[in-house]
Structure 1
């Protein structure tokens, strides 16, 4: 589990004064990058190793609105990891602890040529780190 804080920027709001829905997906990426860094596998390191991890599915349920300058805490957890596919779960809360969004993103792991990687065989330390995070849940 990883906690990441995002402060809503003015440009992220729409004409109604609330955060535009597309920004929550961007915050998920920020939280995901922070999560991987926290467990010792930041994106730069993965890319140096030749691992890319595209998003293959994303879902977001909007529960409450946020507005300019709100602070949103994003808890990122590993929901499921098969060694081939990783599903991350995000719980976003405002400063009062009220859930503003619940989301998931699914990822696969490819080499630079776009070929599927089998992390258990090819990158066992990274595989084990993700298994350890799944076990925490």
Structure 2
């Protein structure tokens, strides 16, 4: 599922190139967009008392993205077992096949006391919907 955004001036360095720290924010924006598009916006999960902390993030830069460009961030479910969710991201310059960045983020699901919860048991709809997006 694709999330499209324009590069903001404040996200760049003196050379007009997107600063590396912004890609993690973009991954989060794309994740929130993905969850909303599949019918499970993050605020809905929080209302259920479910929190999804980040366990890890990785990012590889292939080419630069600059101020004024528009990017398309493809979000893919790499794996999900009900407790741990791994998402993959591929950033392209909008309207091209040029991949600028690839990355992953790992998340778990916990209750408000930070005790792990199994979404397969707690919210079967979320589990089945998310698993249906796992890329083989």
TM-score by length of 2: 0.96
More helix by share: 1
Q: What count of residue pairs does the alignment treat as equivalent?
A: 135
For residue 89 of structure 1, report the CA deviation from its aligned partner: 0.3
- 1:99 is aligned to 99
- Listed one character per residue, the Cα deviations across residues 98-127 of structure 1 (whole Å, up to 9, x for unaligned) are 111000000000001100001111111111
In structure 1, the residue corresponding to 2:132 is in which secondary structure?
helix
In structure 1, the residue corresponding to 2:10 is in which secondary structure?
helix
For residue 131 of structure 1, report the CA deviation from its aligned partner: 1.1
What 5-or-longer segments of structure 1 have no aligned partner?
none
RMSD over aligned CA atoms reads: 1.0
- 2:125 is aligned to 125
TM-score by length of 1: 0.95
What 5-or-longer segments of structure 2 have no aligned partner?
none
- 2:28 is aligned to 29
For residue 82 of structure 1, report the CA deviation from its aligned partner: 1.4
- Please tell me whether residue 47 in structure 1 is matched to residue 46 in structure 2: yes
In structure 2, the residue corresponding to 1:45 is in which secondary structure?
helix
CA distance in 2, matches of 1:31, 1:132: 18
- After TM superposition, the runs of 4+ consecutive aligned structure 1 residues lying more than 6 A away are none
